[in-house]
Structures are given as C-alpha cells and as structure tokens.
C-alpha cells in the first residue's frame, strides 16, 4: 500500500461510526471511568442487555474455574495466506474450557450457582475441540455443502451480536441458576409464564417448575432465545427476575464484551474434511473437523475481511433502502473472500494503527470519549 493509499485508508478509518467501540474493545474503559453518569451505550456498547447495566460491561463480576485446556494462541501473518479462500465461522461470543460458578447479583455481591455452567464456546471452540466449528445440524450441513464448492477454505471466527448466545444451553443454564436464587413472586412468575404460553410455547412448563431445566434442553434454539428476550424486559427485572445483561456479560469472552458485531480474526481453522459429524457440544450438535491455525494480532472490522459481502450490502441499501447485514450474513453459508493484497494491506494498516495509536493520533482527529 503506497503512502497516499495508506493515508486515505486511515482517513476513512477515522470516520467509522464504530471506531470508538473498536478502540474501547482493545484499550478498555479509559476516561469513561471518570464519568459521573455514563449512558447505556457507554456502559454496554455491544448491547448485552435491554436494560442499562449496573456498571461498565468490563466491570461485571463473575467467577470461573478452568475446565480443560485451550490450544495455545498462535499469532499468524495474514500475508502467509495470500490467495487462500476465507469463509466465516459466524458464532456467538461465549468462551470455552471453563466452568462458570458465580455471577454478580443485584446488590453487587456474587451469587454462587447451584449447578456450575460448562462453557464450551463460541469463539474459542477451535482451540478446545477436535472440531473447528459446530452448529445446529441443519445449519452445519448447509455450511459444509457450501464449503465443498470453495477452493480449500479456511474458516475464520466472526462475532455475532452481543446477545447471540441466548440460544445456547450455556445461557439457559446460567439464567436458570440466577432465576433459582432470585426473589421472583408467584404472581410475577405467573405473568411471565402466561406471556410465554401466549406468544411462544403453549406447553411451557413454567419458569419455577422443578422440571424446567430438562424442558429447556429439548426446546428449539430459536424459541429458547425468545424466552430470554422476553425476560430481558424492564417489567420483569423490576419484579425480581435476574438482570439478563449481567448474565450475558458473565458468559461472554472478556475480549469480546464491547466489540462491534462482525469483529473477525481471533480464530483461523483449516478443514480436514467437509464431512460433518456429531459434536459433544451441548448446544451445537454437529461439527466439521480440522485444525486450529492461529489468530490475527487484533480482531479487525468484518468489512476488511468480508469486503465483497459488505460492498453488496451497501449497494443493496442504495438500491432498495433496506439492508440487514446480520441476517444476510447468518443466512448465507457461501460467503467467502480470497486473501489479496488489498486485504493484507488494510488489515496490516489497521493493526499498526492499534499498536501505535498514540503516535498516529494526528491522522485521526478523534477523541476516544468526547
């Protein structure tokens, strides 16, 4: 990348709407910690909760114990993959190889869960399993079929939105652990249960039913997600239900707590085969096998990697006035991008910006927290 192109790229980078969020995810809370009354987006830029978090997302407390060993993180050089085909492993932000044992309660103290939550990923699945990616059977089969039409693809983790883990067993187990120790009245539980039966599942057993955990295991992922979306409303929180934003923070990889959606690059994996096989994951029951390759030095904005997809979304927005990148990304297993010089240059420039941001500040004309 020539000097002129580099300066133009950095100038465009400085105008990104998500630039503050990108830097926050790499550098922490910064001067925001001194704000007397931080706003909801400042506390929770990734949108973990429908309600305002009680503290900055990074400050939500929880306790874990190690449960297995992650393959050591390896930093890779994107230029070594010049000409290779990348395809997204689009997934939730949960961490792996740990057991969640305590979560912050409404008074700030830690509540010990009666049943620890096995954390399986999410984003570090490639470093903790013999498979490099897993999903629900239908989705994984569609992705495998699409990869069969690609030229020796490399899967690259790309982050879903902050609440994407809602469909997982990890979220259900953590939420039930908090529900069981929350001061929910029978009247409030009845109102919630009636709402669920009316809108989601006429056979819903009830949030305080002793068999509810078993019922949740067999519930479709999409319905399970909607349970927690409903519970996340202020009317329930005010009646003693747990704070769903706090629970989501407790199951989210710390490095992804505040990252923008589509952040890309924290895991690269090479396929052994496009054949799918059963996965031991409690949520995502089907996997493809392969080997962990490494990670970029920093997560990078998704549009630097998935350039064709985001250019198509921009064109669609201009032509139709409508664009839903998150849904389109989820529903398009054939997304792919060749590593070319533009990608290598832009990812390199972005990485150098983060490494030496203070020396580059004159190029950006931004303040991190205005």
Question: Residue 136 in contact with residue 285, Cβ under 8 Å?
Answer: yes
278: nearest Cα among 141, 145, 99, 121? 141
* Residues facing 120 on adjacent strands: 96
DSSP string, 290-303: EEEEEB-SS-B-HH
Q: Please give the Cα distance from 129 to 271 (Å, whole number).
A: 13
Q: Please give the Cα distance from 273 to 91 (Å, whole number).
A: 20
Q: How far, in whole angstroms, is CA 312 from its chain's centroid?
A: 23
Span 28-85, pLDDT tens digits = 999 999 999 999 999 999 999 999 999 999 999 999 999 878 999 999 999 999 999 9
**Residue 340 DSSP SS3:** coil
| Cis geometry, peptide bond prior to residue 278 (ω within 30 degrees of 0) | no
Q: Please give the Cα distance from 46 to 339 (Å, whole number).
A: 28
Can you give the pLDDT at residue 235? 96
Question: Residue 287 in contact with residue 299, Cβ under 8 Å?
Answer: no
Can you give the pLDDT at residue 10? 77
Q: Please give the Cα distance from 281 to 168 (Å, whole number).
A: 10
Can you give the pLDDT at residue 180? 97
327: nearest Cα among 41, 49, 90? 90
Question: Residue 16 in contact with residue 262, Cβ under 8 Å?
Answer: no
The backbone torsions φ and ψ at residue 56, rounded to the nearest 5 degrees and listed phi first, read -60, 145
pLDDT by residue for the chain (370 residues), tens digit each? 677 777 788 788 888 999 999 999 999 999 999 999 999 999 999 999 999 999 999 999 999 999 878 999 999 999 999 999 999 999 999 999 999 999 999 999 999 999 999 999 998 999 998 899 999 999 999 999 999 999 999 999 999 999 999 999 999 999 999 999 999 999 999 999 999 999 999 999 999 999 999 999 999 999 999 999 999 999 999 999 999 999 999 999 999 999 999 999 999 999 999 999 999 999 999 999 999 999 999 999 999 999 999 999 999 999 999 889 999 999 999 999 999 999 999 999 999 988 876 444 434 433 333 3
Question: Residue 144 in contact with residue 135, Cβ under 8 Å?
Answer: no
Can you give the pLDDT at residue 25? 93
Q: Please give the Cα distance from 279 to 96 (Å, whole number).
A: 15
Span 298-311, pLDDT tens digits = 999 999 999 999 99
Residue pointed to by tokens 């709407």: 17
For 249, residues 6+ apart whose C-beta sits below 8 A from its C-beta are 48, 53, 57, 60, 62, 257
User: ∠ CA 30-34-39 to the nearest 5 degrees?
Assistant: 90
Question: Residue 58 in contact with residue 254, Cβ under 8 Å?
Answer: yes
Q: Please give the Cα distance from 53 to 166 (Å, whole number).
A: 17
DSSP 122: S
Q: Please give the Cα distance from 202 to 4 (Å, whole number).
A: 62
* Residues facing 155 on adjacent strands: 87, 269
For 143, residues 6+ apart whose C-beta sits below 8 A from its C-beta are 133, 135, 288, 333
């Amino acid at each position: 990348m020539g000097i002129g192109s580099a300066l133009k790229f950095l100038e465009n980078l400085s105008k990104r709407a998500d630039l503050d969020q990108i830097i926050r995810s790499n550098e922490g809370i910064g001067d925001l910690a001194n704000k007397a009354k931080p706003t909801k987006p400042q506390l929770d830029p990734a949108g973990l909760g429908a309600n305002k978090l009680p503290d900055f997302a990074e400050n939500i407390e929880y306790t874990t114990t190690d449960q297995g060993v992650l393959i050591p993180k390896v930093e890779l050089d994107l230029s070594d993959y010049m000409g290779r085909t990348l395809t997204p492993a689009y997934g939730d932000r949960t961490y792996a190889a740990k057991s969640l044992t305590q979560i912050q309660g409404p008074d700030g103290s830690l509540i010990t869960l009666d049943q620890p939550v096995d954390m399986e990923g999410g984003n570090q699945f490639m470093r903790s399993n013999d498979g490099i990616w897993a999903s629900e059977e239908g989705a994984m089969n569609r992705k495998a079929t699409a990869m069969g039409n690609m030229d020796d693809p490399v899967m690259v983790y790309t982050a879903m939105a902050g609440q994407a883990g809602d469909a997982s067993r990890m979220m259900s187990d953590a939420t039930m652990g908090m529900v069981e120790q929350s001061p929910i009245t029978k009247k409030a539980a009845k109102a919630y249960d009636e709402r669920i039966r009316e809108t989601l599942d006429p056979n819903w057993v009830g949030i305080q039913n002793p068999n509810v955990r078993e019922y949740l295991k067999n519930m479709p992922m999409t319905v399970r997600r909607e349970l927690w979306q409903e519970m996340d409303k202020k009317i329930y929180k005010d009646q003693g239900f747990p704070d769903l934003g706090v629970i989501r923070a407790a199951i989210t990889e710390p490095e992804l707590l505040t990252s923008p959606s589509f952040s890309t690059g924290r895991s690269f994996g090479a396929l052994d085969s496009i054949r799918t096989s059963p996965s031991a994951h409690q949520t995502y029951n089907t996997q493809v096998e392969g080997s962990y390759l490494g990670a970029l030095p920093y997560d990078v904005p998704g549009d630097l990697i998935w350039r064709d997809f985001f250019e198509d979304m921009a064109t669609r927005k201009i032509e139709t006035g409508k664009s839903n990148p998150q849904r389109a990304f989820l529903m398009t297993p054939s997304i792919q991008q060749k590593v070319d010089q533009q990608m290598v240059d832009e990812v390199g420039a972005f990485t150098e910006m983060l490494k030496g941001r203070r020396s580059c500040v004159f190029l950006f004309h931004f303040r991190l927290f205005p």
